[in-house]
Structure 1
Amino acid sequence: MTQHPHQVGARFTSTAASQQPITITEAHIIERLADASVGAGHAVRVTVIQGGRSKNGFVYDQAALRQIAALLEDTHAYADHSRSEADLQTRSVRDVVGFYHDAEYIAGPAGQPGHVDATLHIFEAANWLWTLINEACTLGRPELIGLSVDLFGAWQVNEATGAKEISAIHTLNSCDVVTRPSAGGAFRRILHAESSLSSLPEGEHPMAEQHNTQTSEITSSPSITPIDAPITSTPAIATQKIDRLREELQRQRCELLLERRLSESILPEPVKSQVRGRFQQRLFEEQELEHELSAALTMMAQLTRDGLVRGHGYEKASITGMVSEAEKVQASFDAMFDLEIDTGRLGNVRGFTSIREAYARVTGDSSLQGGISGSSQLGQLPMSPFGPTGFISEADVTTASFSYLLGSSMNKRLLKDYQAWPAEWMKFVSIAPIRDFKQQSRVRMGAFGSLAIVPEDSPYQSITLGDSAATYVAQKRGNLVPISREAIINDDLHAIKQIPGKLAVAAAYTLAEFVYGFLANNPSIYDGQPLFTTGAPHNNLGAQALSTLALQQGVTAMREQTNFAGKRIGLRPRYLIVPPELEWTSMVVTKSAGVPGSPNNDINPMLGYVQPIVSPQLTSSTQWFLAADPREIDTIEVGFVGGQVNPALFIQDQPMLGLNFTQDVLTFKCRHEYGGATTDFRGLYRGV
């Protein structure tokens, strides 16, 4: 069997060994009554790492586990892993939740590498974490959280199995509390030290058992029955202490029961706080608490039915302030693309300064040896006597996460830039959601003329309405944008950051060209005639350059438009649409108090009459247009498939498909789906 050294810097958590995942079956809280050698706070016995093969492919043998056990003593415990490699040496003091002591290597059965156990001392300042651990173990769900080691070491790749066999552990940076461990890190039992017991004479401990590790189990459904342990020949002082211990144990059981039932309840928070105030710091029976919760629910239901309480929104209790590792990494990607971050929830997030750093942080491949998706094996690493060195990290993000995280931030940037692009065409068109790419039909109903006079004792006369329909079919527009492995290796962040903006401009400009094309190209519409005609049938095409007089003629032409019954409908234009060449002329015509060029300084009746819109998509230097308000009459309709007005960005990141396999290329696809048609000519007028 040959082995070749390779490096992968990934972060690990704690849940797999050998060939099968390790399942921690212990779900009991153990109350240990012993000396308190580490002061105030809380302690929990944990399995830091299981031997064998982790979910991320690293193999920990007996030698590696012994090294980890030796390095673990007094190691810091943090909440979640660091956000980037640069943060390893400058972790915030607010992230520290405790430290490890009494670490030891536990040998496994014959042929098995065993595991590393330690005691995690949790600071009183991290009481939120203690509450989380306590409740998870009480409910029999310790797997909801786990431990993840952050190591610096060396390994070799076994070509026969593909496993990365640990050859040396140089540094243990931290062992952190995370949500999805990968190497077997788990909470086993909770330890409560009681310093007062150290004063008892040897052999008179009320619950003494072998090795001084006395236990009394609390199952996931705690009851409030007293402890009936037999006590014989105990001095008076010891009896008093035992009574106090029993009372304290019952009080703790009550607190656990109270918090568990409140977290499961759908009561609003103010009501929960009221119930908590009644039951905290006292002993009670479970039936008493259940009766109180039931009464509170009945009261809230009655108040809701009577209309006295509305919108209180029963919500499940959740643990606030907990931010996952994936959220932190996504925030760093967002900051890299200059997107706004929720600093109130996430804190001060440092954006990645390079695409190399982002890629290495997510995949752990700090040298980019593994290719974009881990399918190629290019490049070699500097060697140590034990093999290549790098970060061994067991975090809850994977290699496949890189393209998703990058794509998510790029999509946000695309939407931000797209929405910032001027879209004044929306003022004079109607926007509609459509379900599919089938032909869309917009029926134009006819109109009644004047109501007929009905003579005495005569029947009413029936009349019918004619109609016509404007139709269109939505089309799909888009492009593929590849990001090569070379771009990541060359650390070309500037080029990659430009992609969303370029796509946003292209999508916005393409849509604007589509809309203004209805005006500039004078297409045939639903009646088979061009949109703009001189005289019949549309009477909406002038022949003069833009001026105050020409504008007045256009207004008059729109006022004279008639309905199906030949009645004038008195439309008023709301917008003046011009190319860039006529921008200043439109300003003079619509904003001058006097008629421009008038010898007698006549009053300009077009002052503020219409709102100018300048469109760079109009290429004729002489054409100008009037448009009515689409809320008063139909003009142009633009329909978006699925109601998706914004363009969307998609990712092709399967390592065995397409360019990702053949050329080490991540492919991003920009897609925009829409169509449109002129639905009524009467709300539009062209000057030349």
Structure 2
Amino acid sequence: MSPQALVHNEQHIRITGQLVEQLEGADTGEGHAVRVTIIQGGRSRNGYVYDQVSLQRIAHLIEGAQAYADHARSSEDQVNRSVRDVIGFYHDASYHPDGPDGGRVDATLHIFAAADWLWSIIKEACTLGRPELIGLSIDIFGQWQLNEASKAKEIISIQQVNSCDIVTRPSAGGTFRRILHEDRTALEEYEEGEAYLMTETLKSEEAVEAQPEVGAGRLQEQQQQIEQQRQEVERLLSEVTMQKATLSLERRLQESILPEAVKAQVRQRLQGRAFDEHELEAELTSAQALLAQLTRDGLIRGNGHEKATVSQMITEAEKVQAAFDAMFDLDVDRSRLGNIHGFGSIHEAYTRVTGDASLRAGISSSSHLGAIRVAESAPIGRISEADTTTASFSYLLGTSMNKRLLKDYQAWPAEWQKFVTIVPIRDFKQQTRVRLGAFGSLPIVAEDTPYSAITLTDSAATYVPQKRGNLVTISRETILNDDLQAIRQIPAKLAVSAAYTLAEFVYAFLSSNPLIYDAANLFTTGAPHNNMGAAALSSAAMQNGITAMREQANYAGKRLGLRPRYLVVPPELEWTSMVVTRSAGVPGSPNNDINPMLGYVTPIIAPQLSSATQWFLVGDPREVDTIEIGFVGGQVNPTLFIQDQPILGLNFTQDAITYKIRHEYGGAVVDYRGLYRGV
């Protein structure tokens, strides 16, 4: 069967952009030649649509084109490709109209002998049944128009084919199943054997006709020799068939999601004998059906019969995202991704993703307007069919900015979390926290006397969560000016703003002395709360505050014996708080009296407190309610959003990508008895 016939027979596999067959002479040691499918018609994963005309144009331009290992990082790099990256060239290109979506373009790829490392990868990937690890991706300059209805970028003209490169994840292709080839040595031996047998037969017949006196004995001897040779050829062919069956079995078992124990049974049934592909598929299908039935019957649970995921596959988009992360000094999993280098400039990052070195198309990777652009006004740009452009520049940048925002936000001191209660809330409706009253001492119930009925009074603390946020824009000029330092500062500044705003909100409950659920100020001298003193911070003043908290009573007038856990002070009182809480002796005492406040409470320094003299004692929220902070949807961290639609907002009016930070929360004092103010 010819190579062309093999391609035609496997057409339904749709192995676009993948190696599809090995040609004769591929292992000569003087380079390797493989037949490949350059591109398949229809819509690629990057959204470009190739019709019959564009495919024919590619088939014409690909003749003699160079092949490189991986795409160029930018348009400038594409022009100045290194000779070390060249791995071969294309010839004998042809357009095949058969098949769906406009057909395909095939060519022969000659791989240089110096690129044996690549050939080794191709052969090993195919031997292991993982040929999808390597594919082809075309890099061209052309014009396209946006179809607003389908959101497809229709190729309308192609000016130049830059290269067709070897990549890990092509976007204009399908699934690569296997290299279609036969054992040429065995076939040649078989063909030579057949030719030899035919020649010897003819010679024998001619000899008998020319010399009938030779007799039947000699003719019989020659026929026996021919029969032995025929048997040897059949034996060789049988061995080749057995080898192909074994390789096919191992490849399909590696692709299968069956558990190892079931794979072993299938291997045992088929190993050691020749079988065709239909029999192998029938065995695998039968095993899968049996497992499915056993699972439905409840006889198999949790034995690992789940579809495997290729967790070790690393896409080009992952590498580009890692380069963005490294640009923002974020941690990158180099053990998995390798030695990833961060982008050195924002312009380099933009060009790497979009291929637009001059920002001719604006700053969004999809910044095109109108239902369909006419050919005369369609932009000419780089069209790369690797999967690095599946995520837009704005999304990749925003993802890394959001990671940096969260890292900086979580690194910001938030010691207020020690003395508040954090809860998730569902919506922006008013939140109500009912505070039930308390029972007094249980009365004695005399014999034959009914129990007395009492009721509980209650009150409610309420608050309404609010939305806080800001907009940040990155302009086209910022990218053109390559102002990386300015962009790198945005997440840090947003994180500080969000963290400081939330801290101000919490500490304002202490410093502003608001009205709370009982219509009285949080801190009062005497009734109703009796939780405010008039002395500056000192050991004696703290002892008075502790006594006041111990004397706090419930609704029934019973003392609760509460104890403070934290001393909250402004920066002006930081050193005073350290002396008061960590000195072994009473500060200023002439007799070296033991300091009873040593280690009694933990100081918390709050820069958000506006008064230089106020200090506060706060109880442990696990023992007594203090302040509740509720986050909408349980989203404690702020969130960064991206607005880069080309016909909306600043992207349309001012050539700017807009990032929005949002933080949604609210809070209230739930119980005054866990709080005490010194001045």
TM-score class, shorter-chain normalisation, is: 0.7 to 0.9
Residue of structure 1 in register with 2:186 after alignment: 196
Matches within 5 A, 1:429-444: 429-444=420-435
Aligned length: 605
Could you tell me whether the CA contact under 8 Å between 2:135 and 2:166 is conserved in 1? no
Deviations 1:163-196 (A, max 9, x none): 5633344x536243424227x9988962234223
Alignment partner of 2:332: what SS? coil
How far apart in 1 are the matches of 2:146 and 2:298?
68
Cα deviation, residue 598, structure 1:
0.8
Distance 1:415 1:509, change over 3 A: same
Distance 1:514 1:450, change over 3 A: same
Distance 1:179 1:312, change over 3 A: farther
Could you tell me whether the CA contact under 8 Å between 1:652 and 1:666 is conserved in 2? yes
Cα deviation, residue 43, structure 1:
8.8
Residue of structure 1 in register with 2:224 after alignment: none
1:165 is the counterpart of 2:157? yes
Structure 1, 472-481 or 242-251: larger mean CA deviation: 242-251
Matches within 5 A, 1:136-535: 147-150=136-139, 165-169=157-161, 171-172=162-163, 174-181=165-172, 190-201=180-191, 204=194, 235-260=230-255, 263-265=256-258, 267=259, 271=261, 282-283=272-273, 314-373=305-364, 375=367, 392-398=383-389, 401-535=392-526
Matches within 5 A, 1:7-22: none
Alignment partner of 1:682: what SS? helix
Residue of structure 1 in register with 2:673 after alignment: 682
One-letter code aligned to 2:678: G
Could you tell me whether the CA contact under 8 Å between 1:441 and 1:471 is conserved in 2? yes
Cα deviation, residue 135, structure 1:
8.1
Could you tell me whether the CA contact under 8 Å between 1:48 and 1:149 is conserved in 2? yes
Distance 1:458 1:159, change over 3 A: closer
Alignment partner of 2:628: what SS? strand
Deviations 1:234-282 (A, max 9, x none): 823322222222322332343344334xx233x3x6x467658857964
Distance 1:642 1:467, change over 3 A: same
How far apart in 1 are the matches of 2:549 and 2:144?
79
Where is the helix percentage greater, Structure 1 or Structure 2?
2
Residue of structure 2 in register with 1:25 after alignment: 12
CA RMSD of aligned residues (A): 4.4
Could you tell me whether the CA contact under 8 Å between 1:34 and 1:198 is conserved in 2? no
Work out which of the residue numbers 39, 42, 61 in structure 2 matches 1:49.
39
One-letter code aligned to 2:63: A
How far apart in 2 are the matches of 1:346 and 1:683?
51
Gaps of 5+ in 1: 1-22, 137-143, 207-231, 378-387
Alignment partner of 1:204: what SS? helix
Which one has more relative contact order, counting CA pairs under 8 Å at least 6 apart?
Answer: 1
Distance 1:302 1:475, change over 3 A: same
Residue of structure 1 in register with 2:5 after alignment: none
Cα deviation, residue 335, structure 1:
0.8
Work out which of the residue numbers 126, 132, 155 in structure 2 matches 1:130.
126
Cα deviation, residue 100, structure 1:
7.0
How far apart in 2 are the matches of 1:31 and 1:185?
11
Alignment partner of 2:568: what SS? strand
Scaled by the length of structure 1, what TM-score is found?
0.77
How far apart in 2 are the matches of 1:294 and 1:116?
38
One-letter code aligned to 2:246: R
Deviations 1:461-507 (A, max 9, x none): 22222111100000000001011111011010000010000000000
Alignment partner of 1:147: what SS? strand
Residue of structure 1 in register with 2:221 after alignment: none
Distance 1:155 1:273, change over 3 A: closer
Distance 1:32 1:45, change over 3 A: closer
Scaled by the length of structure 2, what TM-score is found?
0.78
Residue of structure 1 in register with 2:63 after alignment: 69
How far apart in 1 are the matches of 2:312 and 2:391?
27
Give the fraction of aligned pairs with identical amino acids, expressed as a percent: 55
Distance 1:24 1:82, change over 3 A: farther
Alignment partner of 1:258: what SS? helix
Deviations 1:144-175 (A, max 9, x none): 99531245xx5578999985633344x53624
Distance 1:390 1:338, change over 3 A: same
Alignment partner of 1:444: what SS? strand
Could you tell me whether the CA contact under 8 Å between 1:47 and 1:187 is conserved in 2? no
Structure 1, 623-632 or 312-321: larger mean CA deviation: 312-321
Alignment partner of 1:515: what SS? helix
How far apart in 2 are the matches of 1:669 and 1:417?
17
Work out which of the residue numbers 540, 543, 568 in structure 2 matches 1:577.
568
Distance 1:635 1:48, change over 3 A: same
Cα deviation, residue 432, structure 1:
0.4
Cα deviation, residue 106, structure 1:
3.9
Alignment partner of 2:661: what SS? strand
Matches within 5 A, 1:543-582: 543-582=534-573
Residue of structure 2 in register with 1:654 after alignment: 645
Could you tell me whether the CA contact under 8 Å between 1:574 and 1:609 is conserved in 2? yes
Distance 1:646 1:235, change over 3 A: same
How far apart in 2 are the matches of 1:108 and 1:278?
44
Work out which of the residue numbers 591, 598, 603 in structure 2 matches 1:607.
598
Distance 1:419 1:30, change over 3 A: closer
How far apart in 2 are the matches of 1:345 and 1:279?
38
Cα deviation, residue 329, structure 1:
1.1
Deviations 1:87-123 (A, max 9, x none): 8789999x99x977764334769xx997332368874
Cα deviation, residue 627, structure 1:
0.1
Work out which of the residue numbers 589, 609, 618 in structure 2 matches 1:627.
618
Gaps of 5+ in 2: 1-9, 112-117, 148-152, 197-226, 370-378
Distance 1:462 1:646, change over 3 A: same
One-letter code aligned to 1:619: S
Cα deviation, residue 125, structure 1:
4.0
How far apart in 2 are the matches of 1:205 and 1:672?
83
How far apart in 2 are the matches of 1:507 and 1:492?
24
Alignment partner of 1:25: what SS? helix
Alignment partner of 2:472: what SS? strand
How far apart in 2 are the matches of 1:82 and 1:609?
64
Could you tell me whether the CA contact under 8 Å between 1:577 and 1:615 is conserved in 2? yes
Structure 1, 626-635 or 392-401: larger mean CA deviation: 392-401
Could you tell me whether the CA contact under 8 Å between 1:571 and 1:628 is conserved in 2? yes
Alignment partner of 1:38: what SS? coil
